[in-house]
Structure 1
Amino acid sequence: MTTQHETRHDTYYIVRKGDTLSAIARRYDTTVKQLQIWNHIADVDVIHPGQRLIVAKHDDFVPFPGKDWFAGMPNSPIILMMAYRLIDEGCNSYPDNVEGVSPRWDEDHRNSYAKWQRKLGYSGSDANGVPGRTSWDKLRVPFPD
């Protein structure tokens, strides 16, 4: 019996006995926080066998806005969503964690993004904190609500 299926846009997983949200997140290369958002899960410790979870939304990520967009110092909710994903990935250079995050592209965002690039194995000028298409696509920034 298969426990995963895809629609045109989303991938679903049917929870089995013994599954945890963190294990499912690892299996589908996402985060617990993202699974909570997609599936409206209040308590990460409570999932049930037979429960159908969205584990990937194939059309729900912000496409790479381009290096010029970042050079223009944008003030956008996309920057906030990027910051939340960077925090989820453990790439945080923000003061006061989430409370210190601004929607305007700034040095804290650049430093956090540089941590993400280094986590992906980039170094030198490839880890300068300015997003590129490949690193952006791997971060999978969700559209703001």
Structure 2
Amino acid sequence: MATQHKHHEHSGDRLIEEAAAVLVDAGEQWTAMREGVFRALAAMERPASAYDIAEDVGKLRGKRVAANSVYRILDLFVRANLANRIESANAYLVNTHPGCRHDCVFLICDDCGQADHFDDDRLTGALRDAGKVHGFAQVRPVVELRGLCADCAG
């Protein structure tokens, strides 16, 4: 049986407020551009690329936004636990519970691209321990399961 985390999922303005607080607590600034990138990411129904986000932010700002700038912001968001990176798709998902540090197991649909996650501390803890046994420090498990979601399979 998976060990579950207890955390509160945020949405809307409350999610933006929580993300801003987490970033500021980490010693970073919550700028208008960072907020725009976070809002665009939070509005995505599926994992999004930096290019998708740059396009949306550019439309809102009325001027082109470079994907390089968005990548830097997304990297910061991943480090600060405001977003998760789907490694196999080079795409990002907003973390709806910023400030809660844990390793997610991602479920990614190969047909529609939908992504979800669950927490399993036993699994990710075992992976972290295996990394340490093999001489790695600061191990961060990245676990992605690909297949078909219930809607696409059914």
TM-score range, shorter chain: under 0.3
More strand, by proportion: 2
More helix, by proportion: 2
TM-score (norm 2): 0.26
TM-score (norm 1): 0.27
